[in-house]
Structure 1
Amino acid sequence: MKLCPKCSRSPLPFVMVLLISSVLAFITWLVLGLSQVEPMVRLAGGTAAFLAVGGTLLHYVIGCLKRHCRHDQEPHRVHGQTFSRPV
């Protein structure tokens, strides 16, 4: 999980993963409540949904951040001169 420093500064993608997985876990917990399941099973189902959705989205977000990072293509300055990295 090595991201460049500029890409890993923004917490917005990770906050969105937390928000989406929390909402889906809550909906799962509510739906399991309609089926008259024991409270511990409801809690386990909500936790499993949170972990599954959160893990999948986190994997996707990190992959996208690595794939779409354009910071390696920025010109580098060495002793006042601008050099671009070879592709």
Structure 2
Amino acid sequence: MSTPDLPTRGPARPGPYIISGILLAIAIVVPLFVPAYSIDKPRLAGMPFFYWYQMLWVPVTAVMIGIAYRLVSKEDRRRRDEVKGARTPEEES
């Protein structure tokens, strides 16, 4: 667990935030582009493509959000640990 009372003043690496933003943008934008999947075939167990494609995005989006959360949490933890390591014993008292 991270300690929210400890500031994250360490320099942030942009990589995890960029990757998280891209994952979240994909999870939001792709399902909104309806013309790409507003068709009837192929069918899966008799269900039109329109429905099963939308249902497929539910677990895919959950995985993408989970990955984004882990990336940002890991970066936040790294920055907090960096601040903890930079403090001197006098500052902690």
Deviation at residue 74 of structure 1 after TM alignment: 2.9
In the other structure, the counterpart of 1:51 is 62
Provide the C-alpha distance between the structure 2 equivalents of 1:34 and 1:54, rounded to a whole number of angstroms: 25
Q: CA shift at 1:20, angstroms? A: 4.3
RMSD, aligned α-carbons? 3.6
Q: CA deviation at 1:75?
A: 4.3
**Which residue identity does 2:70 align to in structure 1?**
H
* Shift of residue 50, structure 1, vs aligned partner: 1.3
User: What's 1:33 paired with?
Assistant: 37
User: Aligned to 2:30, what secondary structure does the other structure show?
Assistant: helix
Task: Calculate the TM-score normalised by the size of structure 2.
Answer: 0.50
Q: 1:45 to 1:30 in 2, by over 3 A?
A: farther
Task: Specify which structure has the higher proportion of helix.
Answer: 2
Could you say which structure has the higher strand fraction? 1
1:68 aligns with 2:79: yes
Secondary structure at 2:33 match in 1: helix
% identical aligned pairs: 10
Residue 75 of structure 1 contacts residue 84 of structure 1 at CA under 8 Å; is this kept in 2?
Answer: yes
What are structure 2's unaligned runs of at least 5 residues?
9-15, 42-47
Is there any run of 5+ residues in structure 1 with no aligned partner, and where? Answer: 8-12, 77-82
TM-score (norm 1): 0.52
Q: Which has the higher contact order (CA 8 A, sep 6+)?
A: 2
